[in-house]
Structure 1
Amino acid sequence: MASKGTAIVTGAARGIGQAIALRLADDGFDVAVNDIANNEEALYEVVEEIQAKGKASSAHVADVTSEDQVCGMIEQVVDTYGHLEVMVANAGIGGSIPIGEMTSAKWDHVMDVNAKGTFLCYKYAGMQMIKQGNGGRMIGASSAIGKRGEPFNFAYTASKFAIRGLTQAAAIEFGPHSITVNAYAPGPIDTPMFTAVTPPYDISRQDMIDDFKKKIPLGRIGIPADIASLVSFIASKESQFITGQSISINGGIFFD
């Protein structure tokens, strides 16, 4: 199958990012995957999985909080594949912490990775797509907590609300170039990051999952493949009239 184009997925070594990268490969994209140096070994395993599907892939170790590294990553991808069609700014961190324990340094770190990192990915991917002149898809990672604030998640909540605003502003600016910009807003998802954005109750991970199951009409928490399926659609040509949206995918735990 001929390639549908090139996609970049940040934070792709595990969890939702890994699932998105593998799904886009199934959809026919060549996929460049990114993560930080601490996750480099797992990142190369994702590359091998994508290549086993018959698609081209490459690993790009970069910190999305660094403008030079994000710019350099996108230049490397374009040098390798010749073009860029899809940018999935998935990289993010959590950290449930009471406000009295939230230091300025911790606040800055969460905001840098989640909000600034998404901004930089949108900026440089958008510039590349405009240069190519063929449109494109930019996709960010918001959250249910980016639509309804949660206690103990002050920086995370602010960062995910910020991604919604960034997505809307970018959609307006890039729309005339046939570039759509959307975000996914997951509810509880069964990933290693699950407990990092769950209020610090004194209960086990499984008890937290069971508690959410009682609140979610569909009776389960999400899995990474659920998010990957949504991103698959947003990245496709069928989504061409959808832009500026932060799409909830939460099993019905709340409606917006």
Structure 2
Amino acid sequence: MTGKATRLPIYQVDAFTDRVFAGNPAAVVPLESWLPDAQLQAIAAENNLAETAFFIRSVDGYELRWFTPAVEVDLCGHATLATAFVISTILEPGRAHMDFATRQAGTLTVTRDGDRYTLDFPCRPAKPAENPDPKLLAALGGPAPVAVLSGRDYLVVYESADAVRALTPDMALLSKLDLFAVCVTAPGDNLREGGVDFVSRLFAPAQGIPEDPVTGSTHCMLTPYWAERLGKTVLTARQVSARGGDLLCELAGDRVKIGGQAVLYLEGSIRV
């Protein structure tokens, strides 16, 4: 390293869980001003988590960006929740309302009520996929799905939670698909899933994320699908990855409200 290094604070938060070693870990890096994009990407790659969130203060709230180890993404739920947690519990204790200006997803609002955070995100309904990538089902394996839809990601619907849980996708083949990621979902199994309305998993190997533990933004697509199918606007969800996580989702017109908890795992600094 040449020259004087800059020290930046960093926090690692487990989102959509009430205990460490569960949910989805995200790094959160507060900044005084924006660093070059290449440096933000390098920090995210070094962190090697599904997402690293960077934010700065603005006149009306905050500006927020998210990076996987490979790319900047347009929307990320768990890293937004992690950022709100850091602000309201560490940087500005007690803050209950946060507005985040983003580059592609508009303004996102997070509110805090006790230990629960609610994210107000845009609704992103999927449509039936007319010509899904022929590699999709081969990459997923498993039984034939009930339906295949698409938006930013593929949404593949199975008959049972067990089918979703048992999938062992071919990540190399999945990484060659034509959309950003693949979400698989099924109705919740009341006995094994504690009564949740639906379960899911999310794979995005082309973005540096073989399987995302808990994906808030994907529930912007899942919520309108299951709201229509189940005839209800408030739904409970569980992402059945190895770490797992729970979400409370509400369809509110063209918005989706996603609720969850978060816990701090790590606090420190990085030198760049």
TM-score of the superposed pair, with normalisation by structure 2: 0.28
Considering fraction of residues, name the structure with more helix. Answer: 1
More strand by share: 2
Name the TM-score, length of structure 1 as normaliser. Answer: 0.29
Structure with the bigger RCO (C-alpha within 8 Å, sep 6+) is 2
